[in-house]
A and B are shown apart, each in its own frame.
Chain A
């Protein structure tokens, strides 16, 4: 490997002396390298695939407008398959070998928590597309995230339950970083809203049938079920509940925001309630809503290029990328200055909400960035209050 690259560099420098490769050598210095670690394949591919598409689309858009400060963006996407070990080695590779300007991603909370320290030590900006609150609490200097915090999602769900008069609930989560973090938040916040969790269960992220688990929920006499996961089990639990005749409301996390989960659950998805950013219901927003223009543009661009419906996950990548672009525009090409620019950014309108970062808050979104949505006739709609 080393000998190969040595040989290559000798040849290249010879060519450079001859002036043959002059332009390409220059070009490599004239790009801004942005790394991305995304779960393009694997169990979280409903997250990573639209995120990767979004980044490609935005890179092309920025580059066609002449790039940033006269330099083109070079996007390096690494597919982690939602595997934290792979995410770790990609993070090291991007920071140490590629010397990227910043890292977008990873897609999942488990992966992000594993690379949080690596980015911190490598002094490289990391804008995660994952939800768990632990990513930004405690705050790490170089780590930001764009999806709404899971504690806000939990509060939003509990507020809805209070309105519906629900007191006894069952909690089921997948055994991923996202699921476990969600379970902890659900259990911690429940007493504040007078809600009792009568049963709390973890299932395998690869589970293909949860009939026995929902039978257990039924036996406990729960008034509602909250499922917290990002795997296809989100669809499976909906089916299994209806099949065994457990007809109580099903709440999902903000991880449900891809229409593919609805398609997989078919008729069983009807009536599922979950908190999400406004992207999924962009058309329904009033025209004077501050996010409307951003949401509609992203949605139209994405859907016309990739021929599939935009999801909140692609939106998280959009926010991460555009926040970075905004900061580079403002602060130039110095990593430290760009980091400071992100930390002090106020009023940035993204797909997830309006971001107001501060040294204490590396997420920048408040609870109002969530809407409660439900599924009606196979589509996401605003839940009527």
Chain B
């Protein structure tokens, strides 16, 4: 308890510092959220967790870095997102489409295998080296300040692009035909099929979409975190926990869950040695799940209907 009072006291004493931690947390929170949304999109149409989600992030940023040597940054990013979407589509068509009523477990194991294969191919293509895209605005030392809080302009890019993606996806699922069809699949695959929706195409589309948003997230975050062939694994783990934390299948909940985890991680550094950062974040999450197994925003009844 005294610890809590200490933190509150610190906050009041130093409001700038408080927001500095929030800013650090929000950057990562949004990245976790985007990865979690990628999980959710595929989960909704297929009922599986795609463990190759982190690899989409890695592929997006590594491809963009390679292309950036030959073309302007914006074009390189657009192309790399398209290429990663294509990889997502090929992956689904080659490994999932032809399966006759596959079990959830079988498909999940396929995604684990694919994630390993993609990582190994990336290692063969790009090697071990750590690379990075250039900062979109300014450079490594640029810093913008709002009321005493200093952040890199790239943080604004991450927050901005990720917010646009989240809003864009919501609009797509609400107002566009394919988006609505995907939601129908999510609600009930059998009935959607009986209504004349091509559910197989919807599954492909879901892989394409989550590959695309993962790749874009990988590009915007690359200047901050650097990119490497194995960057996808920790992101996938965090993204997965965030998806569960928010309530599997719910994109807006993923955003809330992502921000919560990011900020928790950031504040844990304030009060504890930073070596415990991951341990603290994960322990808090375990506690939440212990009391709300359906996730913070999930409903119990809905949860009990899910296959996984």
Listed in ascending order, the chain A residues whose CB lies under 8 Å from chain B are 41-42, 45, 175, 201-204, 206, 208-213, 215-216, 218-219, 232, 235-236, 238-239, 242-245, 264-270
In the complex, residue of chain A having the shortest beta-carbon distance to the beta carbon of B130: A232
Contact across chains for A245 and B145 when beta carbons are under 8 A apart: yes
CA distance A366 to B234 in the complex (A): 42
Interface residues of chain B: helix, strand, loop or mixed (majority): helix
CA distance A206 to B275 in the complex (A): 11
Contact across chains for B27 and A211 when beta carbons are under 8 A apart: yes
Give residues 102-147 of B contacting A (CB, 8 Å): 128-130, 132, 139-143, 145
Shortest CB distance A252–B (Å): 15
Which of B46-54, B74-82, B265-273 lies at the interface?
B265-273
B292 at the interface (CB under 8 A from A): no
Shortest CB distance A178–B (Å): 16
Instruction: From B140, B225, B275, give the contact of A208 (CB < 8 A).
Output: B225
In the complex, residue of chain B having the shortest beta-carbon distance to the beta carbon of A173: B275
Shortest CB distance B142–A (Å): 7
Which of B14-22, B93-101, B187-195 lies at the interface?
B14-22
In the complex, residue of chain A having the shortest beta-carbon distance to the beta carbon of B275: A202
CA distance A266 to B151 in the complex (A): 17
Contact across chains for A245 and B150 when beta carbons are under 8 A apart: yes
Number of CB contacts from chain A to chain B under 8 A? 97
| A175-B226 contact in complex given A212-B265, A244-B143, A265-B140, C-beta closer than 8 Å | no
B152 at the interface (CB under 8 A from A): yes
Contact across chains for A245 and B269 when beta carbons are under 8 A apart: no
Listed in ascending order, the chain B residues whose CB lies under 8 Å from chain A are 14, 17, 20-21, 23-25, 27-28, 128-130, 132, 139-143, 145, 150-152, 224-226, 231, 234, 265-267, 269-270, 273-275, 277-278
In the complex, residue of chain B having the shortest beta-carbon distance to the beta carbon of A42: B128
Shortest CB distance A213–B (Å): 5
Across chains A and B, which 6 residue pairs bring their CB atoms closest together, nearest first? A245-B150, A208-B225, A211-B24, A268-B140, A212-B269, A266-B140
Which chain A positions have C-beta within 8 A of B142? 243
CA distance A212 to B26 in the complex (A): 11
In the complex, residue of chain B having the shortest beta-carbon distance to the beta carbon of A246: B150
In the complex, residue of chain B having the shortest beta-carbon distance to the beta carbon of A243: B152
Shortest CB distance B221–A (Å): 9
Contact across chains for B139 and A266 when beta carbons are under 8 A apart: yes
Contact across chains for A243 and B234 when beta carbons are under 8 A apart: no
CA distance A374 to B152 in the complex (A): 24
Contact across chains for B24 and A212 when beta carbons are under 8 A apart: yes
Contact across chains for B275 and A209 when beta carbons are under 8 A apart: no
CA distance A268 to B223 in the complex (A): 13
Contact across chains for A175 and B130 when beta carbons are under 8 A apart: no
Interface residues of chain A: helix, strand, loop or mixed (majority): helix
> Given A204-B277, A242-B140, list of 15 further CB < 8 A pairs?
A201-B274, A204-B275, A206-B234, A208-B226, A209-B224, A212-B21, A212-B269, A212-B270, A213-B274, A216-B270, A244-B143, A244-B150, A266-B139, A267-B139, A267-B140
Contact across chains for B151 and A244 when beta carbons are under 8 A apart: yes
Contact across chains for A215 and B28 when beta carbons are under 8 A apart: no
Which chain B positions have C-beta within 8 A of A245? 143, 145, 150
Shortest CB distance A215–B (Å): 5
Which chain A positions have C-beta within 8 A of B132? 264
Shortest CB distance B220–A (Å): 14
Contact across chains for A215 and B141 when beta carbons are under 8 A apart: no
In the complex, residue of chain B having the shortest beta-carbon distance to the beta carbon of A236: B226
Contact across chains for A243 and B225 when beta carbons are under 8 A apart: no
Contact across chains for A209 and B225 when beta carbons are under 8 A apart: yes
Shortest CB distance B16–A (Å): 9
| A175-B275 contact in complex given A215-B24, A219-B14, A244-B20, C-beta closer than 8 Å | yes
Contact across chains for A204 and B20 when beta carbons are under 8 A apart: no
Shortest CB distance B121–A (Å): 16
In the complex, residue of chain B having the shortest beta-carbon distance to the beta carbon of A210: B274
CA distance A269 to B141 in the complex (A): 9
CA distance A208 to B58 in the complex (A): 14
CA distance A239 to B135 in the complex (A): 11
Contact across chains for B274 and A212 when beta carbons are under 8 A apart: yes
Which chain B positions have C-beta within 8 A of A232? 130, 226
In the complex, residue of chain B having the shortest beta-carbon distance to the beta carbon of A45: B128
Shortest CB distance B31–A (Å): 10
24 contacts between A and B (CB under 8 A): A42-B128, A175-B275, A201-B275, A204-B275, A209-B28, A210-B274, A211-B23, A212-B25, A212-B265, A212-B266, A212-B277, A215-B270, A216-B269, A235-B226, A236-B225, A243-B143, A243-B152, A244-B143, A244-B150, A244-B151, A265-B140, A266-B139, A267-B140, A269-B140
